[in-house]
Amino acid sequence: MSVPQREVTPILKSPRRGDAERIAELLRPGIRVAITTHVNADGDGAGSEVALWHMLNARGVRAAITNPTPFPERYQFLLEGIQQADKSTQAVKYLDRADVVLVVDISDLSRLGHLGRVVEDRGVPVACIDHHLSNGSLPQGPRMVDAAACATGELVYDLARVLKWEIDVPTARALYVAILTDTGGFRFSNTTPRTLQVAAAAPFRGWLVAR
């Protein structure tokens, strides 16, 4: 006889709730948002970007991924069916049009390569979601930065929870990749009990079943 599994909801740290709400104030339907990350994006940066693109697009936000270097080949599968989301080859053009810049997985302007000056000079709010311990050098804007998070993907998951945004299968896949890669398959020291709770949450189980 199978035993029903008890749903475990990861506890949400209160500072993250306020941070998420402040970022959400910028993300109104119809605005243009340029999502970007560091040079040579890794799985956490790429996965977090794609997840945010899906969630913003579902809410009528005109989002685009605008990286300083090409979207990594090994994570191209995250763009299946949404290749139009990646505008990295036209990053400067899309940043020049953006109403908001959303930087993930870094908080230092220098990590944006040649796009750093573009972002600095743009004069629009620059929101940041990052799990690295740094005071940062990005232009002014709301921050969701917490070094206790195992990955930026964990913080994007919390953003969705606070705002009650649906995490569909493509979004769950992107966030799972973000968390999986930055924890070394849950083997690195940044893997915490909460990391495992997040990875076992309903949206991620749904994606694994859908596979």
Note the pLDDT tens digit of each residue in 140-157. 999 999 999 999 999 999
Model confidence band, residue 9 (pLDDT cutoffs 50, 70, 90): confident
Contact by Cβ (8 Å): 49, 106: no
Q: Where does the chain show beta strands of DSSP type E?
A: 32-36, 62-65, 100-104, 126-130, 143-145
Note the pLDDT tens digit of each residue in 158-184. 999 999 999 999 999 999 999 999 999
Model confidence band, residue 135 (pLDDT cutoffs 50, 70, 90): confident
Model confidence band, residue 207 (pLDDT cutoffs 50, 70, 90): low
Locate the domains of the chain by residue range: 14-210
SS3 call for 113: coil
Q: Give 142's contacts (C-beta < 8 A, 6+ positions apart).
A: 19, 22, 23, 25, 26, 125, 127, 128
Query: In CATH, what is the architecture of 14-210?
Result: Alpha-Beta Complex (3.90)
The pTM is what?
Answer: 0.94
Question: What whole-number distance in Å separates Cα of residue 197 and Cα of residue 87?
Answer: 34
